[in-house]
Amino acid sequence: MIIVVDESVSYGIVPLLREAGHEVVAIAESATTGIGDEQVFHLVQERGALLISRDYHFTNAIRFPASATRGILYIRRGNLTAAEEITLIQRILAQHSPDTFIGKLVTLYKDGIKIR
C-alpha cells in the first residue's frame, strides 16, 4: 500500500511503515516539505495513496473528499506522545484490512476509532 505521511505526524512512523512493506511518501523528508494542503491532497490522489495526518483540514469532506482517495487517517489532536501516536497507527493498520479505509475518513482517538 502507498501511504502519504503528512508532516504533522510523528516522523518515527515512517521507517516502521516501510519495514512493514509499505511504500511511504513522507512530506517531511522531501522537497515537498511545507507544501499546502491542496498539494498534499493532490499527491495522495495522484499516487492512489492512504493519507495519515493530524491536520484537521483534511476532515473537510467538501475540500478533501476521502471518497477520492484510498482513505484518510486523521489522528485527532489530544495528549498523545509520539510513541503513543506511532503505536496507535500501527495497531489500526494491523487490525484492519487496507480495503477497510478505501474512500473513508477514519478518525483515530487515543482510545478508539471512527470510520465514516
Instruction: Give the per-residue pLDDT at 32.
Output: 58
Q: Torsion-angle region of residue 103: left (phi > 0), alpha (psi -120 to 50) or beta?
A: left
Domain count, the chain: 1
For residue 82, being part of any structural domain is answered with yes
Instruction: For residue 36, give its domain range.
Output: 6-115
For residue 79, being part of any structural domain is answered with yes
For residue 1, being part of any structural domain is answered with no
User: In residues, how long is the chain?
Assistant: 116
Tens-digit pLDDT profile for residues 8-52: 999 999 999 999 999 999 998 876 567 889 999 999 999 999 999
Write out the DSSP string of 37-71: HHHHHHHHHHHT-EEEE--GGGG-TTTS-GGGSS-
For residue 11, being part of any structural domain is answered with yes
pTM attached to this predicted model:
0.93
